[in-house]
Structure 1
Amino acid sequence: MKVFICVAMLISICTLFIYGMVMMTIPQNYKKTVDNRFTEKAKNLFSALSEVTYQEGKELLIDFCIENNTSAVLIGGNDTVTFGSIPSGENGVKASETMSTDMVFSDSTEVYMLTLVSISSAVKDVATMFIRLIPIVILFIVILSFLGAFWCSRFLTKPIRKISEVSKKMSELDLTVRCNEKRIDEIGVLALSLDIMASTLDDAMKQLEGANQQLQEDVDAVKQLEKQRRDFFAAVSHELKTPITVVKGQIESMIMGIGDYKNVDKYLPQTLRAVENIEHLVQEILMISKIETIELSETVVEIPLSDIISEVLYDIKPIAKEKEITIEYNSEYDINVCVNITLFQKALSNVIGNAVRHSQSGTKVYIGLVKQNGISVLKIENEGVISHDNDISQLFTPFYRADKSRSKVTGGSGLGLYIVKTILDLHDIRYDMSSDEGRVMFRVYL
């Protein structure tokens, strides 16, 4: 609204100023033009009168006065002849220009003085006309001013207001707004620059939000890893405390000869087995620590999967034979895998070893490589096993044993599948485990 009023006032003042200048200059210029024309005609008349007789001259003077609205006075000797009426100033009629000259007619030697007086009220008429037009001109100026102000406010102010609103929303971090101006002038360039800046900032904000989200996920992952480490070491402490206490008690009892412990030959083998269990547990803990610190990219090689499975089965078949368990390995084809051979072999050894260890005598363990939805899947399945879904979800937890008695004879150290999980996660290999109708199946997606 302020712009509208200011533009209207500016147009009005400029227009009135121009009109005032015209009103002052045009009458003066008109008078000057009339006077110049009168002077030129008067000179021509003086030249013509010097070539005619007195009587012819009088006729020329009469015609000249009528045609040019002029009065003339011819004085010769004692005679004075007047042509037209001499202006007296009444009714605004005044002499505009006066010229006098001495002359001699062709039929006489007497010298006459001729005076021409230009009678004109045109200058006053023009000025009066301008004054009378003032109301109309003012009305026209007002209309023109309002129209001009309206056009300016629509053409200039509206896009500027829109740009201002967009910039305000941008300051409030709303980077989805756009000016969408199609103009090609400076305002259009400004709007386009603002749109480009908003788009650039929007992309940067999205990238920053994505980076922040990723950072938050990384922080959560680190926190989760720290929690797992704390839980792991707490579990390690618990798992080691019991057998160490037992071994210590047995050794002290044997040294002091307390009760049946005097029979050292009987209890030393038991103590040795307990120490071997502790040693095995420590080795697995050290392996987990080594796995977590290894630089995988420097140790990965490409090798046929069948070679790794054959090596694993070579070590496990004697154990299966003792339990009268048959291992069947059938593969429709073979593939090459890029892995750390030692770690991947350890993972498969733990999975197949668990399958043999937890299967009943006289059952079978099936191993096969098949295509499933275009993906190669290594399946390891044992039968005659009863496992609950709750057990399946907990099997990859450190020191978890499905055997509630927590016997190391049937349940192992509780780190086997946790080592499998750690190795496969390190290789970024997907896996899962399921149980159905006395069968447990472990799948590795290669």
Structure 2
Amino acid sequence: MKPRLFGIFGKVFFYTLLILLLVISVMLVFFADQIKSVVGSTQREQIAEVFQTLIQETKGKSEDDIVRIAQRFHETNASFEFSVMSSDGEVLYRTDRFDMPPPDLRLPDVPEVVRGESFHTTGKFLLSPSASSEKVQFITLLSGDVKLQVSGTISGASIYREFFERTFVAFLLLLAASVAAAFLFAYRIAEPIRNIAGDTRRMSLLESVPPPPAARKDEIGQLANDVYKMYKALKSTIRQLETEVEREKEMEENQRYFFSAASHELKTPIAATSALLEGMLEKVIEPSEYPDTLRECLKMMKEQNKLVSEILEIVALNNHTLVLRKEQVCLARYLAANLPACLSIAEAKKQTVDFDVPEKLSCTIDSKLFGKAFSNIMLNAIQNTPDGGRIRVYANESESGIRLCVLNEGVSISPELLPKLFEPFYREDRSRSREQGRSGLGLALVKKALEFMGIPYALENTVEGVRFRMDLPSLRLDES
């Protein structure tokens, strides 16, 4: 993402540069004034130092001697303008370009140090600034009451000119350094914010966003971490919502299929019953056959009643309207009590049922609901085991609890058909299932019941045959 001129990068850059330039300008003005003051003070000290020679030479001299000494001094120091005056104000000697001080300027006592707006003294020198800021006047006593007045030039303009000439290159270097510093500072401030803005833009498009760097520990780093955590939470929520939507679609599709299949399963026997009853009313069926016909109708109605009951149980399990009533049972005695009804069907098919469940195993289950599931598993095993075949019911302890298995020996089911067997009204052989009184809801009811009770299960092919296994929560009787 390129830095925008009027974005946060541009604003931080220009504000920082403006502050740096303002600070540099104030510093230049301050140092220029200080340099001028120092140079001016130095020049005044130098002027005073030059005239110390004249003062020393005129000590104890007469006025005529002082005039000759002043002339000789001016010849060697022609750049200075001065005058020598007697005590009554008569000018004894004056250079050509000397500016006379105002007549009201009064010389105080020499030992006195005077400080005011008009003049001040340093040692024996009385300094009085002239109307021009470029000049300063010195007044002091020579021999006796003879006064020496000096007019010296302080080159302020030249000082400023030389200062700015010398500092121009330095100013350009400082300006370049300020621009670079402002750019770097603005980049360091704006870059993580631009990254956060780019990440949030990708988040709004549901694109993948990498986690922020862990090196940054300041407020911007905290903001990036908070935004990323919010993104992960929103992404997780969206994923959950998508899963819920898919689950709802799947449930709607399953319900649509379930009711369609249920309608078909109910319609066929009802139509057959109606046909038989209409045949009796229309005297198509002989009166001597009425008992057999009515028994057939009653049989079909019982099957329909059983089918409706199973449908209602599946609906109740699906809607979670049932209340689990768990109790502790001895698994061996509980299963043995539920086997007799199934054993009679197995004996009719000359099948052998081996039962191997240790007496010490105990578990906590809803005995009524689990009993229906176990009965349907056994009936399904008997139905899919050939005549004269063998069925094994066994249990053993495992890491997750008690593993209860029902094994059909010598049979196999295509892997593609295994998940379909739990679909409502699915029959691999519809005609044979109807003849055996199977509704096609057995394994569907088993699936709903075990899932409702939270019991893991699986239907799988093994080397020995087809096995249905369940993992029950264990509780050994010798521990209870």
TM-score, normalised on structure 2? 0.69
Distance 1:138 1:326 in 2: 111
- What residue is the counterpart of 2:95 in the other structure? 87
Matches within 5 A, 1:7-406: 10=22, 13-14=25-26, 16-18=28-30, 21-22=33-34, 25=37, 72-74=84-86, 86-89=94-97, 96-98=137-139, 114-121=145-152, 123-124=153-154, 128-154=158-184, 156-173=185-202, 176=210, 178=212, 192-260=218-286, 262-295=288-321, 298-331=324-357, 335-370=361-396, 376-383=402-409, 385=411, 387-406=413-432
Structure 1 counterpart SS, 2:424: coil
Distance 2:292 2:419 in 1: 41
> How far did 1:337 drift?
3.6
**Which of 157-166 and 273-282 deviates more?**
157-166
Structure 1 residue runs of 5 or longer lacking an equivalent are 104-113, 183-190
Shift of 1:252: 2.6
Alpha carbons 1:7, 1:149 under 8 Å: kept: no
* 1:11 to partner: Cα distance: 5.8
| 8 A Cα contact 1:7 1:148, kept in partner | no
Cα separation, 2, equivalents of 1:410 and 1:56? 158
Change (3 A) 1:302 1:215: farther
Percent identity for Structure 1 against Structure 2? 22
Structure 2 unaligned runs (5+)?
Answer: 1-9, 100-133, 204-208, 473-480
The equivalent residue for 1:110 is none
How far the C-alpha of 1:201 sits from its partner, in A, is 1.8
- Alpha carbons of structure 1 residues 350 and 194: separation in structure 2 relative to 1, 3 Å: same
Corresponding position of 2:477: none
Distance (Å, rounded) in 2 between the aligned partners of 1:270 and 1:362 = 30
Aligned residue type for 1:320:
A
Kindly report the root-mean-square deviation, in angstroms, between the aligned alpha carbons of the 2 structures. Answer: 4.4
Offset of residue 248 of structure 1:
1.9
1: CA distance, partners of 2:303 / 2:318: 23
Is the 8 Å Cα contact of residues 179 and 192 (structure 1) preserved in structure 2?
no
1:304–1:337 CA contact under 8 A, matched in 2: yes
| Per-residue deviation, 1:152 | 4.2
CA shift digits 1:96-131 (9 cap, x unpaired): 23467996xxxxxxxxxx33223353x435654554
Greater CA deviation, 226-235 or 354-363? 354-363
Aligned partner of residue 413 in structure 1, secondary structure: coil
Q: Which has the higher helix share?
A: 1
The answer to whether the 8 A contact 2:317-2:448 is kept is yes
1:278 shift after superposition:
2.0
CA distance in 1 between counterparts of 2:222 and 2:389 reads: 71
CA contact (8 A) 1:399 1:415 kept: yes
Equivalences, count: 409
SS in 2 for 1:172: helix
1:346 Cα offset (Å): 0.6
